[in-house]
């Protein structure tokens, strides 16, 4: 055999090997279960399938044509509240009905090197998230009440990858990727002037750069969600300080503290009107297969830990984590309340409230924007869903689609649901970041919903003194239980 022939054969083998590896990577790790099976209060948790390379299945955004709209659930109508926006993310309605929205992308930073950098850049480009951040806070106003924002004003264009928005008592609060800041702002004004006042620093940028904020109906605190800088702490836990957590900032004292931890990437936050507590959506870890691990919706009691990166869904250990586990952690990990499906990228969250107009079918629960997967086959998310809650404030059933048909079925998507808030007229507003649209959803014939009522709870009165003979009463109770146990054993 000639040298030339040997070289050609060697090259052919290399090419075939590359093609085979590429085909294997492209195929990825398809799901064995439906998204529906991996949702709810008791989701199916299959055996994890650790991946050396992530399953990649990005639906490339192509936008909506004129006259097109998502498919709304029965009884609902959907229309365009605003369009032509540059990557709208968080939407927030002010008490006077004006709507604020942050136009934003990930902050510019040092490009990642190697294969990881190439893959990350390709993912961002393919998913429609690449490009410079607009850094804008925009005001939208529907002056004639026809469900379309006729007025559009840029209030600020000098922010730093802004996300969360809140307003209280003539103060406007904005969460940049690296700091919580405030401005003086009176309702109805068309400008936000003056320099921002920095309230607290936040861990900057990272793999999860959005910083949502939430103020409860009463009180003087702001909750700030900060996602992790990694999948499972693979870059070391030192860089995760202050991340994968919800912070609490006290407006009066100016002090902050970590409120909850072990939340890989908390996003939307809202106040559950029935249980009167903070709830959030959380994006769980990747590279354990298309069926694992489901993102979730859950309550957030103070001091809670949801296990990241060592645990998921209470007592499931992630063997891939190399960082040392705190010795006290296993006994404190909490189980999420409601699974939203694997890799759905759950973001914006609101609960039904007084005045909302979504009809009886969607009259008592939570609405969640599922941004959509990039690493599941077949894709998951790309929709707006509703989770029903009972009268005691507990989620039940399965997520119900409110807006769908974002995916085309041809490997592309028309848009990506991102954030939600209530409009002043009771309609639900939802940002679609890659399409540059804010959708408006409403049940036109529905009466405004009544205010959700929290159940009356009462505690036993404290016992302030002992009466009688406590020791004798204990002996009587113990003797009675022991005799009952002996009788039951004898009857076996």
pLDDT digit string (tens) for 43-74?
999 999 999 989 999 999 999 999 999 999 99
Which pLDDT value is given to residue 420?
98
Which runs of E-coded beta strand occur in 18-127? Answer: 39-40, 60-61, 71-72, 77-82, 88-93, 99-103
Average confidence (pLDDT) per 10 residues, the chain, 492 residues: 63 49 60 98 97 93 97 98 98 98 90 53 72 97 97 98 98 98 98 97 96 94 98 96 98 98 98 96 98 98 98 97 94 96 98 97 97 96 98 97 98 98 98 98 96 83 64 63 68 66
How far is the C-alpha of 446 from the C-alpha of 354, rounded, in Å? 13
Taking the alpha carbons of 79, 83, 88, 92 in that order, is the dihedral positive or negative? negative
Per-residue burial over 403-423, b = 16 or more CB atoms within 10 Å of its CB, e = otherwise: bebbbeeeeebbbbbbbbbbb
What torsion do the CA atoms of 421, 423, 426, 429 make, to the nearest 10 degrees? -50
Omega cis (within 30) before 287: no
Taking the alpha carbons of 191, 194, 198, 204 in that order, is the dihedral positive or negative? positive
How far apart, in Å, do the first and last CA atoms of the chain sit? 85
Task: Indicate the helix (H) or strand (E) that contains 475.
Answer: helix 470-491
How far is the C-alpha of 338 from the C-alpha of 294, rounded, in Å? 9
Q: Give pTM, 2 decimals.
A: 0.88
How far is the C-alpha of 134 from the C-alpha of 131, rounded, in Å? 9
Which pLDDT value is given to residue 475?
65
How far is the C-alpha of 58 from the C-alpha of 411, rounded, in Å? 7
Which pLDDT value is given to residue 20?
41
């Amino acid at each position: 055999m000639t040298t030339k022939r040997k070289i050609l054969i060697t090259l052919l083998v290399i090419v075939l090997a590359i093609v085979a590896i590429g085909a294997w990577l492209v195929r990825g790790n398809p799901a064995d279960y439906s998204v529906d099976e991996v949702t709810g209060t008791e989701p199916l948790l299959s055996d994890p399938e650790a991946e050396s390379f992530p399953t990649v299945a990005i639906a490339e955004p192509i936008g909506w044509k004129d006259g097109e709209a998502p498919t709304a659930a029965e009884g609902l109508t959907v229309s365009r509240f605003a369009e032509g926006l540059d990557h709208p993310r968080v939407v927030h309605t002010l008490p006077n009905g004006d709507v604020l929205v942050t136009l934003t992308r990930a902050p510019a930073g040092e490009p990642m090197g190697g294969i990881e950098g190439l893959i990350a850049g390709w993912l961002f480009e393919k998913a429609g998230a690449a490009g410079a951040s607009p850094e804008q806070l925009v005001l939208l106003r529907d002056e004639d009440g026809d469900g379309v924002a006729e007025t559009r004003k840029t209030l600020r264009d000098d922010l730093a990858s802004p996300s969360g928005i809140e307003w209280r008592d003539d103060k406007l609060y904005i969460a940049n990727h690296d700091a919580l800041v405030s401005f003086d702002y009176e309702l109805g004004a068309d400008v936000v002037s003056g320099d921002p006042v920095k309230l607290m620093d936040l861990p900057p940028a990272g793999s999860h750069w959005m910083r949502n904020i939430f103020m409860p109906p009463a009180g003087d605190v702001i909750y700030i969600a900060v996602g992790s800088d990694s999948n499972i702490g693979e870059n070391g836990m030192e860089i995760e300080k202050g991340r994968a957590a919800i912070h609490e900032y006290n407006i009066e004292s100016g002090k902050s503290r970590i409120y909850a931890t072990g939340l890989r990437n908390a996003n939307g936050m809202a106040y559950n009107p029935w249980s009167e507590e903070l709830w959030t959506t959380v994006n769980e870890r990747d590279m354990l297969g298309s069926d694992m691990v489901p993102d979730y919706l859950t309550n957030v009691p103070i001091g809670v830990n949801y296990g990241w990166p060592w645990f998921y869904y209470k007592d499931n250990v992630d063997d891939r984590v190399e960082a040392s586990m705190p010795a006290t952690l296993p006994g404190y990990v909490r189980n999420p309340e409601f699974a939203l499906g694997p890799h759905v990228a759950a973001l914006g969250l609101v609960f039904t409230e007084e005045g909302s107009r979504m009809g009886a079918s969607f009259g008592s629960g939570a609405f969640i924007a599922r941004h959509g997967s990039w690493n599941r086959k077949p894709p998951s998310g790309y929709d707006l869903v509703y989770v029903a809650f009972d009268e005691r404030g507990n989620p039940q059933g399965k997520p119900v689609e409110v807006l769908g048909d974002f995916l085309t079925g041809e490997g592309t998507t028309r848009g990506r649901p991102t954030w939600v808030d209530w409009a002043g007229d009771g309609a639900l507003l939802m940002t679609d970041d890659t399409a540059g649209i804010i959708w408006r959803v409403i049940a036109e014939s529905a009466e405004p919903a009544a205010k959700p009522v929290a159940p009356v709870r009462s505690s036993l009165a404290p016992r302030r003194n002992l009466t009688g003979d406590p020791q004798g009463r204990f002996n009587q109770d113990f003797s009675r239980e022991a005799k009952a146990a002996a009788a039951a054993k004898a009857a076996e």
